Chain A
């Protein structure tokens, strides 16, 4: 089921640069748009999430941009740091449906 398409699969960014990860979805019933971060040997952890009543949410260096008409949302990591090197998953869902995770983006930030 290709309900969620995440891109790119992998990303290499220089320290201090901007990392951008995109997520496209098909189900218009989705109304909760989180990004999870996973480090090797650990389970995913919620990084930041947005509801569709706003187009952007910022928490520190992390920003979600949401485009309802295009059915897309993006994660922007400003001033990327080596400690941000991890796998990132988008996971749109609704209160009544099971969460569907994107395929993941492996981010590597070069020091």
Chain B
């Protein structure tokens, strides 16, 4: 069974631009969560989607948004990029929502904002 895939793996953008990251969960998994990982703040929860609906949201500004498609694939978008948005963005999938289940993480997308 293929794992969680994230594209692209690396991305370089400049301040003010916008970016879209993609995540394909494990086949059969319907819940997708996004995290931002930085050396200073660690792993911070962005949002969780299940059946195309946002189920939970972390404490991030409105520049961070996401969506989920009917095939459970998910995208996150960051508009008006800031230097502080440089981070590893991780996607995790679960069979169903809720943290009782093991979260299966992808390798992440490394975003650098110049």
A positions within 8 Å CB-CB of B: 1, 32, 34, 41-46, 49, 89, 91, 93-104
Q: Say whether A45 contacts B42, CB under 8 Å.
A: no
Bound CA–CA A99/B102 (angstroms): 11
Name the residue among B4, B42, B92, B104 with the largest chain A CB count within 10 angstroms: B42
Query: Given that A98-B56, A98-B58 are known contacts, is A43 also in contact with B107, CB under 8 Å in the complex?
Result: yes
Q: Say whether B99 contacts A46, CB under 8 Å.
A: no
The proximity string for B residues 30-62 relative to A, scoring 1 for CB distances below 8 Å and 0 otherwise, is 000101000000111100100000001011000
Q: Say whether A95 contacts B106, CB under 8 Å.
A: no
Q: Say whether B105 contacts A43, CB under 8 Å.
A: yes
Q: Say whether A101 contacts B105, CB under 8 Å.
A: no
Say what secondary structure dominates the interface of chain A: loop
Count of inter-chain pairs, beta carbons less than 8 A: 57
Q: Return the chain A residue nearest B9 by Cβ.
A: A41
Bound CA–CA A46/B99 (angstroms): 12
Asked if B8 is at the interface of the complex by the 8 Å CB criterion, the answer is no
Q: Which of A1, A42, A93 contacts B99 (CB 8 A)?
A: A93
Asked if B108 is at the interface of the complex by the 8 Å CB criterion, the answer is yes
Q: Say whether A43 contacts B100, CB under 8 Å.
A: no
24 residue pairs bridging A and B, Cβ less than 8 Å apart: A32-B99, A32-B100, A42-B105, A42-B107, A44-B43, A45-B105, A46-B103, A89-B42, A91-B99, A93-B100, A94-B98, A94-B100, A95-B98, A95-B99, A96-B98, A98-B58, A99-B33, A99-B99, A99-B103, A101-B35, A101-B42, A101-B43, A101-B45, A103-B42
